[in-house]
Homo-oligomer: A and B are copies of this chain.
Amino acid sequence: MELKPSPFAPTDYPALDAIGGFRLGVAATGVKYKGRNDLLIVEMAEGTSVAGVYTKSKCPSAPVDWCKAHLGGGSARALVVNASNANAFTGSAGEKTVSAVAAAAAEACGGKASEIFMASTGVIGEPLDPAPITSLFGTLFDPEKADASFMDAARAIMTTDTFVKVATASVDIDGTTVAIHGIAKGSGMIAPDMATMLGFVFTDAPIASEALQGLLSKHVDTSFNAITVDSDTSTSDTLMVFASGAAKGRGCPEIEVADDPRLEAFSDALSALLQDLAKMVVRDGEGASKFLEITISGAEDNAAAKRVALAVANSPLVKTAAAGEDANWGRVVAAVGKAGEMADRDKLAIWFGPYRLAVDGMRDAEYSEELASDYMKNGEIEIRADLGVGEGTATVWTCDLTHGYITINGDYRS
């Protein structure tokens, strides 16, 4: 099926130069796709530190299990990503494949198997043969032959994405400029054309794995864990950060803890970069015609605000209203109500963009259906609700629910 490009596809991309300590290779396994690369390897300098967060699914894929088991080691020598078969729900055969890929990659780069990290995306429940992957390692780990760019890498991990997702920043750590590059692929659809959410960030900053994990765990809550396309969690969602430390050669100090004040600019830049990538995933949500920012304020605490925000963002009625450009604040009331968090109905207020539609538990006397309906014609829509019970706030991002989503996910397989 040929997918129509998202209306939110970027018109230009930032330059993504090579970063010290990382060498990239892409190739075509031919497992599923014809005529495109679907395998990425990133070889990393010795001493590269690693941090990761993974799907909370109780039925995770074999690569997710592998990564979780080895994250504690704190060091990485290679990342292997294939976009054809998720190696999920494949039982002991899946574990064997992961071990075989790790062993082959470790041998090729001279590291340990426990320093090889993996992610797979694609069909669920089909056995994944390691051979089409490992047979390419001779070339991919050969510095003479493999020299892919970050754009190539971002393209190789795509499945149903309609545009390439990359982001970059450069930032100062105690007088040395370091680079941060991120690539991601989008979400929305599980087997047979699985579109797990994957994100990988690379930096030459010398940051210890504990510090890196601290930053990632903090910022994931306001980025990849603050987006939803259809509320369906994949078995394979993976977000990892790798820090090669190559900037040490330019005098950058080694950073051991996440709250080191010298990391402040880096932390802010990482947070913004993760949020950029996460928003790209939503903008490329299946069938998306509107990008929605949902902000909840006045909740009991931030966690409660986020639960309410996600209830609104996941409401099919709110999402179809956005698709229909209908300023239907009654559906927001219903979604707030069903979230189960404390709310004072008689203090609830709702805004669509600059327009307050409801206040004190009633329709706003100043409410203009015409202005609100005009506002809904925008491609990017802000919905805000104040619950009137506390100081908690949260923002999440989602897209609308359209005929395009049904067509992509529900129409007969050809």
Contacts and interface: CB of A to CB of B under 8 A. Distances in A.
A346 B194 CA distance: 20
Contact of A326 (B58, B91, B401, B412): B412
Interface string A354-366: 0000101111000
Nearest to A93: B362
A49 to B, nearest CB: 29
Interface stretch (A40-48, A206-214, A314-322): A314-322
A32 to B, nearest CB: 14
B317 A189 contact: yes
A214 to B, nearest CB: 25
Contact of A341 (B58, B190, B233, B403): B58
A4 B118 CA distance: 49
B410 A406 contact: no
Interface stretch (A153-161, A216-224, A246-254, A332-340): A332-340
Nearest to A335: B232
Given A89-B362, A405-B316, A334 B233 contact: yes
Interface stretch (A68-76, A103-111, A122-130, A270-278): A122-130
A353 interface: no
A56 interface: yes
A146 to B, nearest CB: 32
A189 B189 CA distance: 25
Copies assembled: 2
A234 B58 contact: no
Given A91-B346, A340-B56, A334 B412 contact: no
Determine chain A's interface SS by DSSP, over half rule: loop
A291 to B, nearest CB: 16
B235 A333 contact: yes
Interface in A6-25: none
Nearest to A408: B320
A343 interface: yes
A134 interface: no
Interface string A387-414: 0000000000000111101110111110
Contacts of A317: 189-190, 230, 232, 409
Interface of A: 55-60, 88-93, 123-126, 189-192, 194, 230-235, 314-317, 319-321, 323-326, 328-331, 333-343, 345-346, 348, 358, 360-363, 400-403, 405-407, 409-413
15 contacts: A56-B340, A58-B343, A91-B360, A124-B330, A124-B334, A126-B363, A190-B330, A191-B331, A231-B315, A233-B337, A316-B316, A321-B410, A400-B410, A403-B407, A406-B406
